[in-house]
Amino acid sequence: MIFRRLLCLLGLLLGLLVAHPAAAQTDVIRGRVTTVDGTALGNVRVTATSIPGNVTRETRTNARGQYQIAFPGGQGDYIMGFALVGYNFRQFEIKRTADQDVLVADARPPSCSSTR
């Protein structure tokens, strides 16, 4: 009787695993923000917005200009935005290709012009 219950429970658990495939992939977006001459830019506000879901995540670069944003269950298509006082806002799209574990989005925002 106990063996039959265990066998039934095992069958139920296997059925649940087959019915619910593994969770969608987590997209990790990382990169480095620098000036045109390669100097790291710290404290840059970095935003990533998923195009299909319109979900936005935000972070700031560290002193070496590096950042990382994670999207659990990400769908691989994002608009990246980079903002820092004294620099023009920079925006571009990135897409996951194939089975990328990490999407790299490096940026070099142009400095603001002083013409009026």
pLDDT tens column, 84-100? 999 999 999 999 988 78
Residue 103 neighbours by CB under 8 Å, 6+ apart: 27, 28, 29, 30, 76, 78, 94, 95, 96
> Vertex 54, ends 76 and 95: CA angle to 5°?
20
Please tell us whether the domain made up of 23-104 is placed in CATH 2.60.40.10: yes
What pLDDT does residue 116 have? Answer: 39
Q: Give the containing element (helix H, strand E) for 66.
A: strand 66-71
The end-to-end CA distance of the chain, in Å, is 86
Domain boundaries, the chain: 23-104
What pLDDT does residue 28 have? Answer: 95
Q: Going residue by residue through the chain (116 aa), what tens digit of pLDDT does each one get?
A: 665 554 454 455 445 444 444 456 889 999 999 999 999 999 999 999 999 889 999 999 999 999 999 999 888 999 999 999 999 999 999 999 887 889 999 999 888 754 43
